[in-house]
């Protein structure tokens, strides 16, 4: 919402496109933004709307289009006072292209589009208004947002503060809520079901429905020959993450699977916002992307709760922990870390692995203050052989360990609690 407010007031404002995977809350966010920050909202959806499709087929005369939009929305559209929302814009590629002409001809009009990456990626090379729009990506709720949603806003504020002793005192409560988040995840409908019914099962029912809807969407937007490969990759992710070595191996999709047959499926899932591809880097150089190996990567899904649902993890296993869950606990932890790095910290994660030893660094991220190798620990097991070796080899980096243990600073690294991961200030407490 803060980013949307800055967009609204920017003197160099362009039409806005909010994209993300289905059911992460794009439509709600724009409607709430319009309700609270504008005099009125002109909302138009392109889902199963042949009238609006015909309007844009007739050309890109913005004044004519505006008259049609007013008739469809039943709202007067006034520059500077009205938020115009194009919803499900991927269903009408020419409406997406029209944003270029609105930018050129009606620059004072506040116009925002919401679209699923499942469809937008198909049109990105055939009319996407490159250079004429501002894009924002919406992710599932972060752990911080989950705390707000569940009535734990004061705890969120504390976890983002520098009050380390107070954070440590409330660690048991924070850990319990983090375990709940591992199960519920951040898909808005799952979080809402959990809050309204007070049961984890309510969230799981929503997650299973979302997963079903995703499979139907894939079948809708992809040629039949590719659907099977995309779903095979998607279904293999829990198996990959459940192994100690989480590097994606094509042969684990199915026997005889080859990279050339499935690489396009992975690209599609990544562009659709359903997976995050984390490439291996050969060294922690600047920028990290320059040292990325496109052939070596891990795959994570968009939401920790959906990963648990895909894996069939039981409530008791996640919340209390049991022997069956021990092996997969690290997978949920890495999924959580990856998800928060993207959504809360705005950082693109990579990972590092040695070609000659078994040493591996779960994630490596970089910002203007340096490079941070990260080890993700599911509990309080603080042995960090690989991280220590990496720190010795690359002393210019700033090693981090995320675990259930409390905040501490050692001469060669700092430990940050998993529940305070998004408090980047704690990362840099001793820099």
- pLDDT digits 0-9 by tens, 294-338: 999 999 999 999 999 999 988 877 777 655 456 677 899 999 999
pLDDT digits (tens, 9 = 90+) for 9-27: 999 999 999 989 989 999 9
Distances (CA, A) of 283 to 245, 272, 289, 293: 19, 29, 10, 10
CATH homologous superfamily of 2-137: P-loop containing nucleotide triphosphate hydrolases (3.40.50.300)
Residue 398: φ, ψ to 5°: -120, 90
Whether the upstream peptide bond of residue 292 has omega within 30° of 0, thus cis, is: no
Tens-place pLDDT, residues 95-135? 999 999 999 999 999 999 998 765 544 444 446 677 789 99
Distance of alpha carbon 249 from alpha carbon 296, whole angstroms:
9
Count of C-beta atoms within a 10 Å radius of residue 171:
17
Per-residue pLDDT in tens (0 to 9) along the chain, 431 residues: 999 999 999 999 999 999 899 899 999 999 999 999 999 999 999 999 999 999 999 889 999 999 999 999 999 999 999 999 999 998 898 999 999 999 999 999 999 999 876 554 444 444 667 778 999 999 999 999 999 999 999 999 999 999 999 999 999 999 999 999 999 999 999 999 999 999 999 999 999 999 999 999 888 878 888 999 999 999 999 999 988 788 999 988 988 888 888 999 999 899 889 999 999 999 999 999 999 999 999 999 999 999 999 999 888 777 776 554 566 778 999 999 999 999 999 999 999 998 877 889 999 999 999 999 999 998 776 678 899 999 999 999 999 999 999 999 999 999 999 999 999 999 987 65
Q: Domain residue spans in the chain? A: 2-137, 144-427
Q: Tell me whether residue 78 is exposed, middle or buried, using C-beta atoms within 10 angstroms of its C-beta: 0 to 12, 13 to 18, 19 or more.
A: middle
Q: Give, in order, the Cα–Cα distances in Å from 280 to each of 161, 223, 233, 248.
A: 32, 31, 19, 11
Cα 84 from chain centroid? 25
- CB contact at 8 A, 167 and 420: yes
Rounded to whole angstroms, the Cα distance separating 184 from 199 reads 10
Q: Alpha-carbon distance 185 to 179, whole Å?
A: 10
Distance from C-alpha of 250 to C-alpha of 232, rounded to nearest angstrom: 10
Dist. CA 214–CA 144, nearest whole Å: 26
Give the burial string for 295-308 (b: 16+ CB within 10 Å, else e).
eebbbbbbbbbbbb
Residue 133: helix, strand or coil by DSSP? coil
């Amino acid at each position: 919402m803060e980013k949307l407010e800055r967009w609204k007031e920017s003197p160099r404002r362009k039409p806005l496109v909010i994209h993300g995977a289905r059911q992460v809350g794009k439509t709600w966010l724009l409607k709430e933004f319009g309700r609270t920050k504008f005099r009125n909202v002109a909302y138009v959806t392109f889902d199963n709307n042949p009238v609006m499709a015909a309007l844009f087929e007739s050309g890109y005369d913005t004044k004519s289009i505006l008259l049609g939009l007013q008739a469809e929305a039943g709202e007067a559209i006034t520059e500077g006072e009205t938020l115009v929302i194009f919803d499900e814009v991927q269903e009408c590629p020419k409406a997406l292209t029209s944003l270029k002409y609105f930018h050129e001809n009606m620059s004072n009009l506040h116009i925002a589009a919401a679209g699923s990456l499942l469809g937008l990626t198909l049109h990105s090379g055939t009319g996407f208004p490159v250079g004429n729009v501002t894009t924002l990506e919406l992710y599932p709720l972060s752990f911080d947002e989950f705390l707000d949603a569940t009535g734990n806003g004061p705890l969120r504020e504390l976890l983002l503060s520098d009050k380390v002793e107070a954070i440590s005192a409330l660690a048991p409560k924070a850990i319990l809520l983090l375990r709940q988040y591992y199960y519920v995840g951040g898909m808005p409908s799952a979080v809402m079901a959990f809050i309204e019914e007070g049961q984890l099962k309510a969230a799981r029912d929503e997650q299973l429905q979302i997963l079903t809807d995703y499979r139907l969407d894939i079948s809708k937007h992809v040629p039949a020959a590719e659907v099977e490969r995309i779903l095979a990759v998607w279904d293999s992710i829990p198996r990959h993450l459940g192994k100690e070595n989480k590097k994606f191996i094509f042969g684990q999709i199915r026997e005889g699977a080859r990279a050339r047959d499935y690489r396009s499926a992975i690209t599609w899932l990544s562009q659709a916002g359903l997976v995050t591809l984390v490439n291996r880097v050969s060294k922690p150089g600047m920028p990290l992307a320059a040292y990325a190996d496109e052939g070596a990567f891990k795959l994570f899904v968009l939401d920790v709760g959906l990963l648990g649902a895909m894996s069939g993890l039981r409530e008791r296993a996640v919340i209390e922990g049991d022997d069956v869950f021990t092996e997969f606990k690290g997978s949920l932890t890495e999924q959580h870390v990856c998800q928060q790095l993207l959504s809360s910290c705005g950082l693109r994660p990579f990972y590092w692995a040695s070609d000659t030893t078994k040493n591996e660094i779960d994630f490596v991220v970089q910002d203007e203050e340096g490079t941070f190798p990260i080890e993700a620990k599911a509990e309080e097991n603080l042995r960090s052989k690989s991280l220590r070796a990496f720190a010795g080899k690359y002393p210019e980096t700033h090693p981090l360990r995320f675990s259930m243990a409390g905040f501490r600073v050692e001469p060669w690294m700092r430990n940050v609690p998993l529940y305070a991961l998004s408090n980047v200030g704690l990362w840099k407490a001793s820099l």
